[in-house]
């Protein structure tokens, strides 16, 4: 009896153990499949997304939706072998010239060769394949899109804002009140004059004013002096603004959002403005830089295809054929940050040597949909910056000799401002 109970207990424990192992195996398998899918998405983004879209959209290379049904190789094993060979050694397949499918694609895409990915393992290639087979294009959420305000659609602002309406209403009320009080005063004065038998000369408004000024010279002089001071102060501050275009925001030929490119997508400023690190001017990016991404991205977040089609037109690119077979047309960008010809400013000196961030002068560009001039860019503004900014000398080979000389000259001083190294000399900024 005891032996029977022992066996029964042992079998129950064994059954539970096998059941637990089975559940763990299912969980591990499902987790592994999810992990592979996630890895496939990451691998595709890092290695393939520059030229290919996981959907049917055409880019530098063909869209990969439904690719598994198109590629040769026969059964699944044969297709896997063909795909691995093509991804890791595409040049050999093209140069061999024996693959009819590749020959057709090669001709269709202007003999533009696919870049081989020999660093990918076989498992990584198959993970990308599994991701593409299971890829489902996202469905646009119209409700979410409608909830966000399109920054490029400007609402017409009426002059008669609530504040203006209140001011006009109060001004009219005070005017009516002044007229009523004046009439009451005149009526009372006429009653007193009539009772006392006085006859007063009634003057029109200008004569009445001049008569008051003649009989109250001190008060009139003080009022005139105050008015002159106010007008001259206003004139002075107005002249200070001549040539200052802070807030200048011209309309550009293409609605380009820095908030989306530099903000959401994290594109570095120097990817487009590459000469900012190499020369005096930051430079306007050529349309070829735009086409690096927009050959595969044909719709904008807010503007659909309307604005990106202008890029295609400028580059002479035909999205239907994937060829540059159209006449090119320059993009007439409007310059925003303008310095006078008499002022010298070198971007590379500030960006590379000085280590100044772009936002220091241009403001939070990564938050701007439409770019505008954030800073004053006046002489006083530059001088204040040179007086307040520490020079980043430590670890900067450009300043090694200068730093040792300054420390020897100014005992105990470790940090120096731009003005300490000649940043306020006229010839530094003026020819």
Core vs surface per residue 381-410: b (16+ CB within 10 A) or e: ebeebbeebebebeeeeebeebbeebeeee
pLDDT tens per residue, range 184-202? 877 887 787 777 777 666 6
As a whole number of angstroms, the distance between CA 385 and CA 363 comes to 14
404 contacts 413 by C-beta, under 8 angstroms: no
Q: Give the DSSP letter string of 319-379.
A: TTTTB--S------PPP-----TTB---HHIIIIIS---HHHHH--GGG-SS----S---H
Four-residue CA torsion sign, 399, 404, 407, 408: negative
pLDDT at 23: 47
pLDDT tens per residue, range 309-367? 999 999 999 988 888 999 999 999 999 999 988 999 999 999 998 889 999 999 999 99
419 contacts 386 by C-beta, under 8 angstroms: yes
pLDDT tens per residue, range 122-153? 888 888 888 888 888 766 554 444 456 788 88
Q: Which residues of the chain have pLDDT under 50?
A: 1-7, 9-11, 13-14, 17-36, 142-146
Tell me the CATH architecture of domain 2-134. Orthogonal Bundle (1.10)
pLDDT at 141: 52
Residue 63's closest CA among 312, 296, 292?
A: 296
Helix crossing, 217-240 with 205-215: angle to 10°? 110
pLDDT at 40: 81
pLDDT at 350: 93
352 contacts 392 by C-beta, under 8 angstroms: no
As a whole number of angstroms, the distance between CA 276 and CA 268 comes to 12
Residue reference for tokens 């280590």? 355
88 contact partners, CB below 8 Å, separation of at least 6: 116, 117, 118, 120, 125
DSSP state letter for 75: S
84 contacts 125 by C-beta, under 8 angstroms: yes
Q: Residue 304 in 3-state DSSP?
A: strand
């Amino acid at each position: 009896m005891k032996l029977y109970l022992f066996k029964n207990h042992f079998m129950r424990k064994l059954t539970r153990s096998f059941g637990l192992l089975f559940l763990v195996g299912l969980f591990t398998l499902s987790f592994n499949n999810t992990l592979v899918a996630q890895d496939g998405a990451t691998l595709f983004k890092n290695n393939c997304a520059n030229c290919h879209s996981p959907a049917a959209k055409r880019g530098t290379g063909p869209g990969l939706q439904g690719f598994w049904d198109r590629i040769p190789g026969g059964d699944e094993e044969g297709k896997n072998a063909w795909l691995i060979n093509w991804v890791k050694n595409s040049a050999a397949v093209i140069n061999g010239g024996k693959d009819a499918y590749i020959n057709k694609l090669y001709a269709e895409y202007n003999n533009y060769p696919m870049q081989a990915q020999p660093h990918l393992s076989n498992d990584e290639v198959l993970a990308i394949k599994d991701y593409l087979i299971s890829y489902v294009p996202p469905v646009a959420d119209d409700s979410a899109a409608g909830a966000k305000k399109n920054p490029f659609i400007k609402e017409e602002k009426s002059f008669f804002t609530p504040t203006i309406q209140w001011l006009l209403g109060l001004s009219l009320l005070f005017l009516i009140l002044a007229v009523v009080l004046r009439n009451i005063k005149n009526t009372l004065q006429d009653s007193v004059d009539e009772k006392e038998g006085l006859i007063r000369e009634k003057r029109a408004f200008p004569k009445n004013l001049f008569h008051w000024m003649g009989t109250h010279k001190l008060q009139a002089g003080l009022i005139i002096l105050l008015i002159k001071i106010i007008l001259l102060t206003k004139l002075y501050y107005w002249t200070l603004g001549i040539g200052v275009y802070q807030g200048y925001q011209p309309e550009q030929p293409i609605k380009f959002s820095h908030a989306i490119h530099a903000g959401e997508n994290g594109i570095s400023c120097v990817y487009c403005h590459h000469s900012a690190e190499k020369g005096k001017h930051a430079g306007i990016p050529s349309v070829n830089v735009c086409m690096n991404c927009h050959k595969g991205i044909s719709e904008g977040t807010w503007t659909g295809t309307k604005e990106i089609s202008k890029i295609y037109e400028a580059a002479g690119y035909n999205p239907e054929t994937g060829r540059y077979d159209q006449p090119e047309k320059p993009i007439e960008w409007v310059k925003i940050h303008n310095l006078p010809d008499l002022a010298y400013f070198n971007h590379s000196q500030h960006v590379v040597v000085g280590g100044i961030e772009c936002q220091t002068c241009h403001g939070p560009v990564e938050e701007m949909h439409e770019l505008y001039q954030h800073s004053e860019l006046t002489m006083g503004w530059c001088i204040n910056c040179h007086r307040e900014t520490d020079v980043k000398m430590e670890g900067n080979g450009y300043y090694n000799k200068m730093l040792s000389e300054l420390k020897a000259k100014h005992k105990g001083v470790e940090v120096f401002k731009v003005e300490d190294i000649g940043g306020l000399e006229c010839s530094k900024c003026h020819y």
